[in-house]
Amino acid sequence: MSKVGRKRARAGYGFISPSLIFYSIFFIFPVVFSLIASFKRWNGLIPLFSAAWVGLENYKWLFGSDLFVSSVINTVVYSVVTVVVGIFISLILAVLINGSKLSGFWRLLFFLPTVTPAVAIGTIWGYLYRANNGLINQILGWFGIKPIRWLTDPKTALLSIMITAIWAGIGMQILIITASLQNIPQDYYDAAKIDGAGSFRIFWSITLPLLRPILLFLTATGMIGAWQVFDLPYIMGTNAPAKSIMTVSWYVYETAFQSLRMGRASAGAFILFCIIFVANILVLRAFKKGGIEGYE
Q: What is the pLDDT of residues 240-281, one digit of tens each?
A: 887 888 999 999 999 998 888 999 999 999 999 888 888 888
Average pLDDT score over residue span 140-152: 89
CA geometry: angle 55, 61, 63, nearest 5 deg: 115
Lowest mean pLDDT among 133-137, 156-160, 174-178, 286-290: 286-290
Note the CATH number of domain 57-289. Answer: 1.10.3720.10
What are the residues facing 52 on neighbouring strands?
A: 41
Residue 152 to residue 129: CA distance in whole angstroms: 10
Average pLDDT score over residue span 279-296: 67
Question: Residue 296: its pLDDT value, please?
Answer: 40
First to last CA, the chain: 38
Residue 24 DSSP code? I
Residue 101, phi then psi, degrees to nearest 5: -65, -30
Average pLDDT score over residue span 107-122: 89
Percentage of the chain beyond pLDDT 70 is 96
- Are the C-beta atoms of 107 and 174 separated by less than 8 Å? yes
What tens digit of pLDDT does each residue of 209-239 get?
888 889 989 998 999 899 989 989 999 988 8
Average pLDDT score over residue span 33-42: 90
